[in-house]
Amino acid sequence: MSSFLVISIIVVYLAFIFYVAYWAEKNSKSKWVNNPYIYALSLAVYCTAWTYYGSVGLAATSGLKFLTIYIGPIIIIPSWIILMKKIIRITKGNKISSLADFISLRYGNDRFLGALVTIVCVLAIVPYISLQLKAISETFNVITNHTISGNSIINDTTFYIAILLAIFAAFFGTKYTDATEHHKGIITAVAVESIIKLVFFLAIGVYVTFYLFNGPSDIYEQASLLPNFNSQQTINGLGGGFNWFFLSLLSMVAIMLLPRQFQVAVVENKRERYLKKVAWFFPLYLLLFNVFVIFIAWGGNIIFQNQGVDADLFTLMLPLKNNNEFLALLVFLGGFSAAISMVVLSSLALSTMLSNNLIIPYGFLSKYSRGESKENTESIKNIRRISIFSLIIVAYFFYKNFTLDRSLVSIGLISFVVIAQLAPAFFGGLFWRRGSSKGAKYGIIIGFLVTAYTLILPFIIDSQVIESSFVNEGLFGVELLKPYDLFELNLFEPVPQAFFWSLFFNITVYVIVSVNIIGSYRERNFAEMFVDNSKYASLHEDAYVWKGEAYVKDIRKVLIRFLGTRRTERALNLFFMKYKMDVNNQLADARLVNFSEKLLTGSIGSASARILISSVVKEEEISLKEVLSILDETQKTKETNKELQERDKQKDDFLDTVAHELKTPITSIRALSEILLDNEDVDYETKNKFLSSILNESERVSRLINNILDLEKLASGKEKLDLNKNSIKSTIHKSVEAVTQLAINKKIEISETEVTDANVIFDEDRIQQVIINLLSNAIKFSDKEKGKIAVRTKINEHRIEVSVEDNGKGIHSDELISIFDKFYQVKNQTVLKPVGSGLGLAISRQIIQSHKGLIWADNVKPIGARLTFTIPLNIKKHEKVIDSR
């Protein structure tokens, strides 16, 4: 295919991607841009050109091992619903914009740690980016039939592509100074590319499997005749199993900690609930991508047997060999889109880290503390733009000047191992309070050095074909120090070996240093906030411990330098409103200091934000103990406040009900007396009826008031019970006598035959009140003439049980408990209005509780309700029985 045609197609394709990004930015509110599928698809930036070409290459030369790179993510991603949620909450709550910022903030706004993480990421990712450029360049040469690439940059198409990608990333990636803003253009473009690369890869898979061969079984049969076939397609014993295990673990870490993955999964996440979609969608995407890998690899092995074709290029060579240029072009474009997504997002993520965690905190703080907001934000954006260009250009020269002859997969995996050095600090910081900044730093450094020794050095030596005894005989000829078999551990292949040893040393150092050296109070403050995120997230700025002296106007000045006057005022007004503070407050508190740090964090990184804010405030040292006790107290105050509010509400409700209950009789009294007063001609009978109603309603009011007072007295424990030894039988009898008239009126029978006597200690008047209440209730709900009520007792060694049973319609099962609530009125009541105040059962419950007994209601068969209370037998005479709440 002519270069001109391919270049034109590339230009059209890039124009399309630019347009998608542009459209998404313009329609940033559209549901096409904001949905969980875009989010899930953008995660597929994980599948780079390596997936396209490298995994086929790996499958062709070493069998199924390529799967480990996808098994890790598939295993870990369902757990994101919990794990990633926590990470996203912390990130959003603190306005974190990158992995470096996350780790730096967790260990107390540590500037050096942020820079260290940034450097590790750059070292890991730049070669990885150059690998993508290499893939573009090589496949371009294959498809255009160039055997040698132009050596001068001017003739190299890849160089121009790299520049275009840098422009793309810089244009859509630095629109806002606040790096926590979502880059919807880039993300949508990446999501679209994820669809393109998958569809094209499936197309070539189907082509190879069903067109070049007769389906999977045909390929299998032919491939199984090849030499090495059997040994390739097994896990290969225990040693191989360990390799599989560690490689899967490695990719598990990579899917979370690669800078571009952190960018798409955490920083660009819009809603937590998107994670639920991702949990099944993304593993499915990876599975689809891998369905045909093995068939393409076997197909390539069969067709290109002994022809010396680079297995990494099978995907492209298979259609070319069969003169299907169109399909070859699709493959090229798929690989191209995979490569450019990775380049754009990686350079974007790295540029944020470079600016916010390395360049600004170490070089620009004093400049910014004097500059105006416009200059400052422009300067921040320029730093990021320059970073993007530099990263891509450095990656380009890296690829140009080092003969990266090794298979695509090697460099990618080295990147993974280097990035994995951040895992102990990251996950440790997330789950272990004691993890300290010193531990994190030493751990990362040691881990990196071990990786360099066991993997990077030998790799460079191998790839540059430098004669050296280092790899085969170990440093200074010491066998124990052979980089690929460190300490004679020769179970592993180089990558899992390096991963194992580097993390072994990394974690050991991290843990030992953290346990032995106590970090600063700030570190511990953030440790609490990160580890116990669910507990402190609701406290917002209150979870930040700070003591010192600060003025609002100084802080305002700093904010204005970055946000401008308008945004600063708006943010501060919101803050004052949130905490109901006076806008004219002169002194700033811990919350404002934390709030301001967060406001700046998105633009200049957490370490710089902290340095700038602390330059205008006078801070006092606090001891670690104090931090913990303040945090604890804040948490408790918040809980107490909630409790108080709850109690207030209950009190309000109670007062409302009381007011309503009092107003009802007063309404009758007022209306009736007004009528009597206004109408002199009321006949004698009516007048009598009205006057006796007024009398009844007045009695109702006073009864209500007495009951309320009674209840309050009992509940507050102000009234002591008059405890004496009494005969329960006689108390019951007195109570029954009190309601006899009521029962006779309704022709209801009350039986006391099942009452046995016992001498028990209780307050006779109060217990009599309870029994009368229960009896009048039973009478009220019993039918006239048919009603039968029975009082019974049961005694055992611990308590006496008294029950009142009727044969009324019973109590609805929902209401068995609530009938004891104040003013509770039974639903579907046939009796129009209860004679009582609605407080009888509530008072009874209070009295029984004061006696440390129980009271409950249940229904009996065939029909009827039974209310039962108990009094314990071990109450001592004149024991103070109060506080039943």
Partner 1 sequence: MKKLLIVDDEPNIVMSLEYLFKKEKFEVFIARDGAEALEIVKKNKLDIILLDIMMPNVDGYQVLKYLKENKDFKEIKVIILSAKNKTTDIELGLKLGADKYIAKPFSTKNLVKEVKQLLKLKYI
Contact residues: partner 1, CB under 8 A: 656, 659-660, 663-672, 674-675, 678-679, 686, 689-690, 693, 696-697, 825, 827-829, 832-833
Alpha carbons 748 and 736: distance in angstroms, whole number = 12
Percent of the chain that is helix, strand, coil (3-state, to 5): 70, 5, 25
Token pair 């009758």 in the structure block, residue? 668
Is residue 333 within 8 Å of 43, Cβ to Cβ? no
Closest Cα partner for 267 from 195, 178, 344, 381?
178
Nearer to partner 1, 150 or 834 (CB): 834
Q: Which residues sit opposite 724 in a β-bridge?
A: 762
With respect to partner 1, which residue has the nearer C-beta, 467 or 681?
681
**Secondary structure E strands in 311-436:** none
Question: What b/e sequence results for 763-777 when a residue is b if at least 16 CB atoms lie within 10 Å of its CB, and e otherwise?
Answer: bbebbbbbbbbbbbb
What is the enclosing helix (H) or strand (E) of 753? strand 749-754
What is the identity of the amino acid at 344? V
Q: How far is the CB of 88 from partner 1 (least distance, A)?
A: 38
Nearest to partner 1 of 228, 667 (CB atom): 667
Whichever of 660 and 880 has its CB closer to partner 1, that residue is 660
- Residue number with CB closer to partner 1 (478 or 831): 831
Q: How far is the CB of 777 from partner 1 (least distance, A)?
A: 17
Judged by DSSP in three states, 868 sits in strand
Output the smallest distance, CB 836 to partner 1, in A. 15
Nearer to partner 1 by C-beta: 528 or 661? 661
- 242 burial class (0-12, 13-18, 19+ CB within 10 angstroms)? middle
d(CA 424, CA 514): 12
What is the smallest separation between the CB atom of 106 and partner 1, expressed in angstroms? 46
In the block, which residue shows the tokens 């240029």? Answer: 325
**Distance between CA atoms of residues 47 and 54, nearest Å:** 10
Q: Which DSSP string do the residues of 180-223 spell out, in sequence order?
A: TS--HHHHHHHHHHHHHHHHHHHHHHHIIIIIISSSHHHHHHHH
Query: Is the Cβ of residue 226 or residue 691 nearer to partner 1 in the bound state?
Result: 691
Smallest distance, Å, CB 833 to partner 1? 6
**Three-class secondary structure of residue 716 per DSSP:** helix
**3-state SS, residue 799:** strand
Greatest CA separation for the chain: 129
Q: Which is nearer to partner 1, 498 or 704 (CB)?
A: 704
Q: Name the residue nearer to partner 1 (CB basis): 678 or 797.
A: 678
Q: Minimal distance in Å, beta carbon 384 to partner 1?
A: 52
Nearer of residues 401 and 828 to partner 1, judged by Cβ: 828
Give CA torsion, residues 169, 175, 176, 179, to 10 deg. Answer: -10
Q: How far is the CB of 653 from partner 1 (least distance, A)?
A: 12
CB of 441 or CB of 780, closer to partner 1: 780
Q: Would you tell me the crossing angle of helices 423-431 and 521-531 to the nearest 10 degrees?
A: 80
Cβ at position 826, least distance to partner 1 in Å: 9
Q: How far is the CB of 856 from partner 1 (least distance, A)?
A: 24
DSSP 805-818: E--SS---GGGTTG
- CA atoms within a 13 Å half-sphere pointing along the CA-CB vector of 273: 2
Q: Is the peptide bond before 36 cis (omega within 30 degrees of 0)?
A: no
Q: How many CA atoms lie within 13 A of 691 on its CB side?
A: 9
CB of 30 to partner 1, least distance (A): 36
Q: Select 585 or 657, whichever has its Cβ closest to partner 1.
A: 657
The minimum distance between CB 687 and partner 1, in angstroms, equals: 11
Parallel, antiparallel or unpaired: strands 548-549 and 618-619: antiparallel
CB of 683 to partner 1, least distance (A): 11
E strand or H helix at 441, and its extent? helix 437-451
